[in-house]
Amino acid sequence: MYVKREYWRGILASLLGGASIVLSVVHAEAPFPPLPYLKFDAAEVTDTVAFYLCGPRYGAWAALIHFAGLVIRGSDPFSASMKLAAVLSMFAGMLLAKSLAGQVAWGSLARAAAMTVANYVYLYVLFPQFLSYAARMVSWMGGVAALFILTAVFNIVHAVLTISVARWIAVEVENRLGRLS
């Protein structure tokens, strides 16, 4: 029985990873107004649904399928890596709590912290030519410090929305079809 459940979890996580690719292809996203290069991406919801329905390992599997699909379809590998890092860091934070409120709090904080570090590396180490462009977008708020604050706010809001919607979907699926565990 255990092997059968693991088999179905793997299949479901793979399908949800594929759904994430489809959502990315159709650009199911909305820009974050202060920094329009940051996008609220609905594709992360399906990865997080896999986390809730199938477990953390399978949520990570769905996120990896999503990442591979982005790269195969021609997305910039570094941008796809940043998306993967955002999702996996959010999952790591979610593992620290049992309640939805705790998962939202820890997932949001972990994602914001990880992506602040990743953006620092991106803008100061790897691609410093983009720093002045990004800072000009928020010059009205004070430049580089505002850039990192707004990026953290974006990641917190994205995590709150993603976790909340994914948990709601997972609960509805479990109520209708039963638990996979």
pLDDT in tens, 89-144: 999 999 999 999 999 999 999 999 999 999 888 888 887 777 777 777 666 666 77
Q: Mapped to the 3 state alphabet, what secondary structure does the chain carry?
A: CHHHHHHHHHHHHHHHHHHHHHHHHCCCEEEECCEEEEEEECHHHHHHHHHHHHCHHHHHHHHHHHHHHHHHCCCCHHHHHHHHHHHHHHHHHHCCCCCHHHHHHHHHHHHHHHHHHHHHHHHHHHCCHHHHHHHHHCHHHCCHHHHHHHHHHHHHHHHHHHHHHHHHHHHHHHHHHCCCC
Return the ∠ at Cα 142 (arms to 138 and 145), rounded to 5°: 85
* Cα dihedral 81→101→46→181 (10° resolution): 110
Question: For residue 124, what are its two tokens?
Answer: 């100061």
Domains present along the chain, CATH in parentheses: 2-28+39-177 (1.10.1760.20)
Q: Per residue in 56-65, pLDDT tens?
A: 999 999 999 9
Q: Per residue in 30-48, pLDDT tens?
A: 999 888 888 999 999 999 9
- pLDDT for position 56: 95
- pLDDT for position 140: 63
How far apart, in whole angstroms, are the C-alpha atoms of residue 66 and residue 32?
21
